[in-house]
Amino acid sequence: MAASVALLLMLFFGLLLINLPISYCIGIATLATLLLNLDFDTAVSTVSQRMVGGIDSFALLAIPFFVLSGLIMGRGGIARRLIECAMALIGALPGGLALVNVVSCMLFGAISGSAVAATSAIGSFMVPQMESKGYSKDFSAAVTAAAATTGMLIPPSNILIIYAIASGGVSIAALFVAGYLPGILLGLALMLVCGGYAKAKGYPVGERLPLAQVLPKVAAALPSLLLVVVVIGGIIGGIFTATEAGAVAVIYALVLSMVFYKEVTPSQLPGILLKAVETTAIVMFLIACSSAMSWLLSFEQIPQTISQALVTLSDNPIIILLIINLVLIVVGAFLDMTPAVLIFTPIFLPVAEALGMSPLHFGIMIVLNLSIGLCSPPVGSVLFVGCAVANTTIERLLKPLLPLYLAMFLVLMLVTYVPAISEALPRLMGL
C-alpha cells in the first residue's frame, strides 16, 4: 500500500508541476499506480470502467444545463442589471462600491452557479468602476475574487450536486437549501471587511439615490433574480428534480435574454452552445478521472487508514475537525474543487460521521473550505481570472486578500462548529 500511495502522489504532483491539465495528472497517476499490481490491459480496462461508472449518474445531467443557463445569462446583460440594482440599494454606504461588488457577485454567482463566471462578468465591470472612483485596482480585484466564491454555496451550485453523488446520496434539494445561510454569512463577513478597509483607506462614498431612481433599477433586475426562485422553489416543492430544474433554467434564461432583455441574438447561440459543450466536457472528464482515483484510494484502503489515524490522534472532535479543515485548505490551494470533493469526501466523511456530524453539514463545510482554495495560489482559478480582469499579478493581489481570507476562515470555523447554520433551513422545510 505504501509503495502505491507514494507512486500516486509523486506522479500526480510531478505532472502538476509541469503544468499538465489536472484531469490528465489524476488519470495518468491512477493508471500508473494500478500497473504496479496489474498487467496493462487489466489496468486500462479497470480505469476505463471506473471512469465511465463515475459519470453514469442522472444527477450529473443537471451540470450541462446549469452551465448553459449560466452562459446564456452571462451574455444577456444580467450582470450589468444586478450591479445597477445593488448600486442603487447600497452604493451610498461606506465602501459602497466594494459592497456592491460583493452583493453583485453573490447574486450573479447564485444565478450562474460559477465562481469563474461571476469573477469575469462582475469584475470586468466593477474593477474599472471602482478604480475610477479612487479604489485600488488590486483591492477591487481581490474583493471580486473572494466574493465570487459565495456562488459555490448559494444554489444552484454544480459542486453541491457533485458532493451529493460523492457522499452516496445526500439530497440535492437539502444541500441547496443548506447552502443559503452559510453563503449569505460569508457575503456579510466579506462586506464587513470591505466596509472597514474602505473607511480606513478613505475611499469615497457613493451618492444616495432617490426612491424614484432606485425602483426602476430593482425592477430591471427582478426577472433575473426570479430564476433562483423558480429553480429552487421547483426543486423544494417536488415539482421537478435538479436535472429538470437545469432544463427549466435554460428555457427561462433563453426567454429572459432573447425576448425580455433582447441582448442575445439567434446568431450568438451556436457560440454559446459550443462553449457550454466545451465546459461540460472538461468538467465531466475531470469527474471521470477523479472517480477512478477515488476508487483506487478506496481499493488501497486509504480512507480507512486515515480515519483510524485521525481518531487515534485525538479524542477531541474540535481538534479533529480543525485538522480536517487545515488539510482541506492546503488541498484546495493545489487541487480544483471537483476532484478534491470526489477524492476527499470518501476519506473524511466517515471520520466526520463518527464524530456525530451529518453528511449534510459536512458537505457545506467541505465546499466552503475548498471555496477558499479557488482564490488561493498556486492553482486558484478564480484568482487567475481576477488577475486577468484587473491586469495585475498574484503577488500584488495577495496583500488586500489577506483580511478577506481571515473573514472566510472565521466563517468556515462558525459553519464547522455550529451545525444549525447549515441544518436549520433544511430541517425547517422538512428536507
Report d(CA 431, CA 426) in Å as an integer: 5
**Which pLDDT belongs to residue 207?**
66
Is residue 155 within 8 A of residue 228, CB to CB? The reply is yes
User: What's residue 263's pLDDT?
Assistant: 84
The pLDDT, as a whole number, for residue 416 is 94
pLDDT tens string 155-184: 878 888 889 888 887 888 889 899 999 999
**CB 6, CB 15: distance < 8 Å:** no
What is the structure's pLDDT at 206?
64
DSSP for 291-329 reads: HHHHHHHHHTTHHHHHHHHHHHH-S-HHHHHHHHHHHHH
Secondary structure (DSSP) of 365-409? HHHHHHHHHHTSTTT-HHHHHHHHHHT--HHHHHHHHHHHHHHHH
| DSSP line for 200-264 | HHTPPPPPPPPHHHHHHHHHHHHHHHHHHHHHHHHHHTTSS-HHHHHHHHHHHHHIIIIIIS---
How far is Cα 344 from Cα 339, in angstroms, rounded to an integer?
8
DSSP letter, residue 156: S
The answer for 391, left when phi > 0, alpha when psi is -120 to 50, beta otherwise, is left
Residue 338 DSSP label: H
What is the structure's pLDDT at 181? Answer: 93
Counting residues of the chain whose pLDDT is more than 70, the rounded percentage is 96
Phi-psi region of 336 (alpha: psi -120 to 50; beta: other; left: phi over 0): beta
Q: pLDDT of 116-150, one tens digit each?
A: 777 877 777 788 878 877 788 888 888 888 888 88
Residues of the chain with pLDDT under 70: 1-2, 91-92, 204-207, 209, 211
Pick the closest to residue 76 from 201, 338, 254 (CA basis): 254
